[in-house]
Each structure stands twice: as structure tokens, then as C-alpha cells.
Amino acid sequence: MTTAHSPAQPATIPSTTLGAGLRSSPAVRTAVDTILAELARASAALTAERPPNPGLKESYDALLARASDVRGRALLYPFIGSGLGNGALVELADGSVKWDMVCGIGVNFFGHSDPDLTRAAIEAGLDDVVKHGNLTSNADAYEFSSLLVSLASANSALRHCYLATSGAMANENALKICFQKHSPASRVIAFRDCFMGRSTTMSQIGDAPDYRQGLPLNTLVDYMPFFDPVEAERQGKAAYIAASVARLEDFIHRYPGQHACFIFELIQGEGGFNIADPEWARALMECCKKHRIAVWDDEIQTFGRTPRMFAYELMGVGDLVDVLTVGKMTQCCATLFTPEYNPKAGLLSGTFTGETVSFRVGTRVLQRLRDGAFYGDSGSNARHHALFRRLAADLIARHPDWFPPVPALGGGGDRLAGGVGGMMRLTAFGGDKARITAACKACLDEGVIVFYCGHGPYHLRLLPPLGVFKDSDWPRVFAVIERALAKVK
């Protein structure tokens, strides 16, 4: 019999859930295939950069004005997308088409209107809710986390993953983990020119005074110089490493037992695509271990872009990493940690962990990175970087007046093109901030989106969508950059 509290059971128990049945429905599959076919047809029409449609100027200007008004300040770039792209090409709402070589500052590694990721996003729309959280969640969050941990743990002791809604929040969680583990230590060590995000605490740690104007300074930070290859060459690397360790020891002895963590950006992003030396990084990390200071590796911008999936693998220091933060390309942001740093209950929480679409698309991104030919000395990340360097060298040789030597980089010529893998920088006009900013805007006008990085010298910054970028795209992009630089006075 049944009661008000025991609904009638079906005669047979299904072998799957109704939700799974919906997602595998032939009607749903056909509908998704139809949408993707229409996407492919529209996307195929975008084949090169093109100027704005004059007929859309008035409506686009109004859209830009409305966007600026609602946010309280003008957009840094007059960019509002139409919602359509084709790999590295993106259409704006004014009908123009640009080469996207910064990809939302590194988010869209597989470019625009990617059919595989679009399929994952559409299917995610069938979920019963958009947002998932710490109290209740569907399985997608844990599938993403499990895959990320399996990739990270191959060359490290990282075993746990906690999701967050932004890179800054992932960093906040990492900081809380380190503070709790090493309580009552209240200081942190970071590198000069580091960038940590825009929360109140992360703005204080990040080494950019403009980003913390008017904020109370209640986070105690000691700044170490980042690796300087010019100075290391002058001193000799062994002597340089010894001096760096001595400087770190000086901070530690000045504030004994007061440092909870040392935050390592093994490759600085905002700071100028500066690259650590593996022996130098290991020596500093081993010093931290000796003094029981947590080693926190911030890979929010570097993840997936170097010739190895993780920068700690590129540097060979995964065995020393206690806490790791990732974001951007992963779509979901996360803090990973070793069992030793697993925090007490209650320290990490929050209503949201993310959206179904972020988990589904993020999982596909991780799978494609894992299964693709991106990594290794002969992988596509390394190959594309070599192509970038070759074309940059050609451009520098054709226009030496645009590329004077920069003493901080050790001279001119090939030293003016830098970075690693999918993190690329080009130092024009002596690294002058005003002219680099003007160059970014000229590039946008001509049809390629770049950004800048560094704190003097300043550089043109490229984070291209190497997941879909073609070797043959490089000369086309450099032709646009050359036209743009010619307009900078």
C-alpha cells in the first residue's frame, strides 16, 4: 500500500536517472547538432580582420556609451563582442573582425565559437540549475575537480581541490590555508611586480601601487626581487642564487616564525612575462621548507600555456609545492593543496562554487589539454613560441628604430622578444609606457587585440588561442601588428 509519505513505485526500476535520459535523448542530440551546424555556417564567414560596418556606427557608439555609463567609467578598449567568432578571429558588435591575441587575458585558449566547447555549453543548459554550491551540487563540479587533481598529482603531492568563483578568490582561499596551517604567522613573502587579483587583500599583496590606492594596508608583505637573467649572468648564476637565498634568509631572521607562505609566480604575468630559473626557484623553495614556510605556486595565468601543463613541471619543482592556484583557461578557478595543508572544516566555504557551463566546458578544456599535442619540447606550445620569436626577429630587423635596446633586458635584438610557450612579449619603443599603450590601441584599430604587461620596461603582451591557432595565422597577425606600430608616434 502507499501513504501520503510513500509515493507509488514504478513496476520496474530504471537503470539510469531521468536527468541522464534527458541528456541522451535523440531529440536533444539532434537539436544540439542543428545548432552547431548553424554555428559552423555563420562562423565560417569570418576569415580575416575587417573594419567596422559604417551602418552600425551609431548603434555601436550608443552601446559603448551605455556600457561606460552603467559601469561608471569608460571601457579601456572600445570592445563589445557580437557573440560570434572563428578560432582566433572575433566579431565585434560594430561588424568589425579582429585577431584576438589576448583572449580575455588568457581565458579563451580555444578561441571563439569552438564547436566542441559550444556543445558542452549547450548541454550544460539542460541542467536543473545554473549555479552549484558547497551545500548542494551536481556531479559536474566533482568531475572537474577530480580530473584537475589527477593531472596535478602526476608530478606533485597535490591531492585536494577546492573550487572558487574567481582567481582572486582562489588566492584568498590559498592564503587562508597557509595562515591557518602556520598560525600565528601573519606575514607573507611575494615577488616584486607580482599580481594577485583585485580583492582587498590581494590588491595589498600585489606589487602595483595604483591597484591599492586608498585601501587600508593591513597585510604584512615582504618583497623579494624576481629572477633577473641579466644580473645572474653578470654575477654568475651560483653566486646570484646564493645572494637570493641570503636575502630570503634575512627576511626570515628579521621576523622569525612570522611568515606563513612564499607566493611563487614561476612565470610572472602582469609583471612582464618574466621567467624564473629552475635552480633559483628550487633553492628559494628549499629554504622555505627548511623554515616551515608554505610554498604557494600561483599559476592562474601560466596554467596550460608553457611547454608543460604546469609551470612547476617546467621548472621541475612540483615536489616542493604545498598549495597551487589555477584559473583563467580552466574556466573554473581552484585552489589545490597537499594532505598536509588540508584545512580544518569551516575555513573554506561560500554559496557558489560555479556554474554548470563552467564545469562542463572546463572539463573539456582539461581533457583536450591532456589528450592533445601541446606539451613537450616538440609540442605545439613550444612550436608556436618559436614561430612568434622568428617573426618578431624579422620585424625587429626591418624596423630597428622601433626597437631600440633596453638595458633592463640586456640589450636589443632577440632580447626584445620574450616569454615562454603561449605567453609572449614584444618590447617596442624602449618599453615606454605611453607608446606601448598607444601601440595597443593602434593594433586594435588595425585588427589585432593585444595588451601590455610589465612595470618598466613595458611590453606588448600576447596570449594567443594556441588551442586553435594555425601556423599560417602568424604572418597575417604580424602584418597587422606592423601596420599598427607604423602609426605610433
Share of the chain above pLDDT 70, in %: 97
Q: How far apart are CA 267 and CA 276, in angstroms?
A: 6
* pLDDT classification of 1: cutoffs 50, 70, 90: very low
The CATH architecture to which 131-371 belongs is: 3-Layer(aba) Sandwich (3.40)
Which grid cell sits at 401?
628604430
Place of cell 618598466: 456
The pLDDT value given to residue 14: 65
pTM (2 d.p.): 0.94
Closest CA to 302 of 329, 323, 283: 329
**Which strands form 89-92's sheet, in the order they lie side by side?**
81-86, 89-92, 97-100, 448-449
The CATH architecture to which 380-485 belongs is: Alpha-Beta Complex (3.90)
- Ranges of beta strands (E only) in 407-476 are 417-420, 423-426, 448-449, 451-453, 459-462
What digits encode the pLDDT tens for the residues 274-300?
999 999 999 999 999 999 999 999 999
What digits encode the pLDDT tens for the residues 336-391?
999 999 999 999 999 999 999 999 999 999 999 999 999 999 999 999 999 999 99
Q: How far apart are CA 212 and CA 202, in angstroms?
A: 9
Helices (H), 372-432: 380-398
More confident of the two residues 11 and 145: 145
Please state the rounded mean pLDDT for residues 112-132. 96
Q: What is the mean pLDDT of the chain?
A: 96
Determine contact, residues 448/484, Cβ cutoff 8 Å. yes
For residue 446, give Cα distances in angstroms to 81, 335, 436, 437, 449. Answer: 16, 39, 15, 14, 9
Structural domain spans, the chain = 23-100, 131-371, 380-485
Closest CA to 427 of 405, 399, 449: 405
Q: How far apart are CA 131 and CA 140, in angstroms?
A: 11
Count how many residues are written for the chain. 489
Share of the chain above pLDDT 90, in %: 95
- Residue 237 pLDDT exceeds 90: yes
The pLDDT value given to residue 96: 98
What digits encode the pLDDT tens for the residues 41-67?
999 999 999 999 999 999 999 999 999
Q: How far apart are CA 383 and CA 133, in angstroms?
A: 40
Closest CA to 93 of 65, 127, 131: 65
Q: What is the torsional sign of CA 72, 75, 80, 86?
A: negative
What digits encode the pLDDT tens for the residues 431-465?
999 999 999 999 999 999 999 999 999 999 999 99
132: β partners = 354
* pLDDT classification of 12: cutoffs 50, 70, 90: low
What digits encode the pLDDT tens for the residues 192-207?
999 999 999 999 999 9
The separation between CA 462 and the C-alpha centre of its own chain, rounded to angstroms, equals 12
